[in-house]
Structure 1
Amino acid sequence: MQLPPNSATESWPTPNYVNPETRGHIGMAVGILLAVMVTIILAIRLYARKWLTRGFGLDDVFILLAYLPATAYTIIGIVAEQKFHWNRHTWDLELEYFVPGLQLILVNQILFNLATSLTKLSILALLHRLTSASGDRMMTIAVMASIAIISLNCFIFIIVSIFQCTPLWEFWELSSGPQNCIDQDAHLRAINLINTLTDWLVVLLPLKTALGLNLPARQISMVIFLFGVGVLASSAGIARCYFAWMLTTNFDTVWNNWSSWFCSALELNIGIICASIPATKPFFSSYLPNVFETTFRPHNSMTMDWNRKLLTQSPSLTTFIDQSSTSSTFLPQHPTPLLSNPQLANLNKPLPPIVSNRHVDLEAQPVPVNEFGPYTRSIKTSLPQRAGVRFSDPCRNLPPSSSQPQDRTTILIMYRADNESVPIQQIPSRASFA
């Protein structure tokens, strides 16, 4: 490490090793919180991909590999803050803490490049899977080009970081004379600028694919939330660039390096969380359905006929009583008020009479002449054949009486699964009097 010139050190205040100004313990608190959150989210993601959806892929491998250097980066920063007091001003730091702190900085440079590159590769691997399935050739080429650029950038900067000084120990050796090192300020500015640009590239690249999906409103809200988290992580990268620039223009190296580490830790951990949230949906849908049902469950596309009275409702089956007067494949947009007097119902199209112990074919059923007039048209329906039951009052099994007529009411109950998109052709109800 090149010591600052005498003109800069002469303006520094008197060192205070007893009660110096520090950053406090905010780095340790935030670092531990981020590490715990990332560990939990990543464990849920891997469990869901491996045992729930059986879709463990290359993106999961990349995110698991990114977790290791990101967590090590966070822990090393906490150790440097708490043990080597790298949360102070440079003039308040004891001389024996400079060398181990600089060694940890060199390790963290390599870990940061590795972690951020693997996180981006994980997101791009998932995006490549989506674009390949959708057949978007141009987007697939863009994703592959981004993967190549980020991989090459990671390799080059890791090599440059390892060999920036020859021999390497000159990086942490305090010297006022010239050293056999590259321009470390230019290297630091370049690595932070390129990493920030690729962060925004990975965040904005899936935007076209996401907007092209025909998603329900609540799922669109979830996509917007994920993009917001990605923008937050990229904004932390912008702040990191600022403090990295301060390192090259301000000689208070220790104080500015803590700020750069803090922003980098936020960027790495939030990036892993953002990349893992979509994969955790099956877990929460399976084990916490009451909490996340309203967010993840899509809307039912079936339009309800308000002329049919709802009897039962379940996730897979819905039962209605048909009270409509006409047969139509188009359902009304607004509910129609029910008649207060049931005898005023339109009975111009009655159903055939009930025959005991006889199968009724709904595909084509001729209707005989009755007291309401002839009806010879066959009733056709596009519904698949289902097992159905016709219900009537118990009086139909009694012997007919010539002295007093018996009332007989027929109710047709139709069933339709919620996932069927074929509209139901309504069959009018009938109330006949024997």
Structure 2
Amino acid sequence: MQLPPTSVIESWPTPNYVNPETRGRLGMIVGLLLAVMVTITLAIRLYARKWLTQRFGLDDVFIMLAYLPATTYTIIGVITEEKFQWNRHTWDLEPELFVPGLQLILANQILFNLATSLTKLSILSLLYRLTSASGDRKMTIAVLVSIAVVSLNCFVFILVSIYQCTPLSEFWELSSKPQNCIDQDAHLRAINLINTLTDWLVVLLPLKTALGLNLPARKIGIIIFLFGLGVLASSAGIARCYFAWMLTTSFDSVWDNWSSWFCSALELNIGIICASIPATKLFFSRYFPSVFETTFRQRSSMAIDWNIKLVTQSPSLPTFIDRSSSSSTFLPQHPPPPLSYPQRANLNKPLPPIVSDRHVDLEAQTVPENEFSSYPRPLKTSLPQRAGVRFSPCRNLPPSNSESQDRTTILIMYRADNESVPMHQYPAAPH
């Protein structure tokens, strides 16, 4: 590192190593909090992808690889702030701490490029899978071009960071003489500007695909929330560009470098969280449904027995069969009263056949004498075992007029607590 001119050094205030002005412990608190949040979010994502959906893909591999340099970058920044006093002004930093601090700064340059590039590749890999499945050829080509640009940017800037000085030790050695290094200010501006542009590219690229989907309002709100997180991470990248520009114009490099690290840590960790949130949906919907679900089931005062299986469903009448017990048939203990004669009910709608492999023999019952039958007749039959109402065509009933020839007999079966299973036959009211 080349020292500032002598005139600048002489203009600095007297060093204060006892109680200097510092940034406080904001970096340590925020950095550790971000590291914990990223670790939990990524663990939930990998669990959901590996064991719940069993669709572990290339985007999960990239996000795992991005987690390692991103977390290391955050922890190194915390160590640099706490142990090497890089939260002070340059003139208040103890001289023996310059060299180890600059070595950690060089390591963080490489880690930042690697982490941000791998995070973008994870998002682009997921987007490529979606666009390929939807058949959007133009968007697929755009995603492939973006993957190539991000990969090339990562490779070039890591290579330049490693060989920016020859030998590399001149990067952290303090010298007032010219050094065999590239223009580090131009390198710093270029790397931050290109990374910020690719951040916005990755955030805005899926916008067309997301808006083209026919989704309900709830899912559109989730997409807007995710895009908001992406914009927040990209905005942190803009702030990082500003502080990087300050580094190239100010001689208080230690003070300004803390601000650049803080914005970079926010960008990296929020980016990983934003890329992992969609994959955690199944985990929260399964283990925390009351927190995750936004739709509520309609409550009813009517008790429902979920052991009753729906057999047929028609516009006129659904039919259920009880599966809760194999020894007896579930029948309502208090059947509704039959329709009175003056009440007209339209029961002449066709119903699908009801088939059951379980049967129960009903004792012969005598149909009481009524206006439709002038003589009692026994009924001995074997009917399917079911609960509720059964409709069957009524035969051998004398029609009262020409308009009421189509009739229906209602067989209502019910069982009391200590009674057998009687069967009553009621004719339907004429039309």
TM-score where L is the length of structure 1: 0.76
CA separation in 2, counterparts of 1:273 and 1:20? Answer: 36
Give how far 1:285 is off: 1.7
Query: Number of aligned pairs?
Result: 368
- Per-residue CA deviation, residues 55-111 of structure 1 (Å, 9 max, x unaligned), is 001000000000000011001101100000000001111111111111100000000
Q: 1:129: how far off? A: 0.8
2:372 counterpart of 1:347: no
Answer whether contact 1:103 1:172 (CA < 8 A) is retained: yes
Question: Contact between 1:407 and 1:432, CA under 8 Å: does it hold in 2?
Answer: no
Residues 58 and 122, structure 1, Cα contact 8 Å, conserved in 2 = yes
Instruction: State how far apart, in whole Å, the 1-side matches of 2:307 and 2:245 are.
Output: 58
Deviations 1:25-44 (A, max 9, x none): 11111111111111111111
For the aligned residue pairs, the C-alpha RMSD in angstroms reads 3.7
> Does the CA-based 8 Å contact 2:344-2:429 persist in structure 1?
no
2:13 equivalent to 1:13? yes
1:224-279 alpha-carbon deviations (Å, 9 max, x no partner): 11111111111110110010000011111000000000000010001001101111
Which residue of structure 1 lines up, in the alignment, with residue 382 of structure 2?
A: 357
Say whether the 8 Å CA contact 2:80–2:86 is kept in structure 1: yes
1:426 counterpart residue number: none
If you compute each CA radius of gyration, which structure gives the higher value, 1 or 2? 2
Say if 2:63 and 2:119, in contact at 8 Å, map to a contact too.
Answer: yes
Specify whether residues 397 and 150 from structure 1 end up closer, same or farther in structure 2 by C-alpha distance, changes over 3 A only: closer
- CA separation of 1:194 and 1:315: change in aligned 2, threshold 3 A: farther
2:62 matched residue in structure 1: 62
Find out whether 1:94 has 2:119 as its counterpart.
no
> What amino acid is the match of 1:221?
G
Q: Distance in 1 between matches of 2:286 and 2:123?
A: 24
Gaps of 5+ in 1: 301-308, 326-341, 379-388, 400-405, 409-429
Q: Distance in 2 between matches of 1:375 and 1:407?
A: 18
* Cα pair distance change 1:18/1:398, threshold 3 Å: closer
- How far did 1:209 drift? 1.1
Q: Residue type matched to 1:159 in 2? A: L
Q: Secondary structure at the match of 1:19?
A: coil
Rounded to whole Å, the distance in 2 between the matches of 1:125 and 1:316 is 46
1:284 counterpart = 2:284: yes
TM-score by structure 2 length? Answer: 0.76
C-alpha displacement at 1:185, in angstroms?
Answer: 0.5
The change in CA–CA distance for 1:394 and 1:280 in structure 2 (over 3 A counts) is: closer
Q: Secondary structure at the match of 1:294?
A: coil
SS of corresponding position for 2:293: helix
Distance 1:432 1:323, change over 3 A: farther
State how 1:187-266 maps to structure 2 within 5 Å: 187-266=187-266
Spell out the pairing of 1:16-31 with structure 2 (5 A cutoff): 16-31=16-31
CA deviation vs aligned residue, 1:136-191 (integer Å, no higher than 9, x gap): 11111111110000000000000000000111111111111111111100100000
Residues 382-401 of structure 1 mapped to structure 2, 5 A cutoff: 391-393=412-414
Q: Quick one: distance in 1 between partners of 2:405 and 2:178? A: 107
Alignment of 1:373-384 (within 5 A): 373-374=403-404
* Deviation of 1:217 (Å): 1.7
Q: Distance in 2 between matches of 1:390 and 1:170?
A: 98
Deviation at 1:10, TM superposition (A): 3.0
CA contact (8 A) 1:22 1:89 kept: yes
* Cα distance in 2 between the residues matched to 1:215 and 1:150: 30
Q: Which residue of 2 aligns with 1:131?
A: 131
Residue 365 (structure 1) shift: 7.4
Percent identity, aligned pairs only? Answer: 70
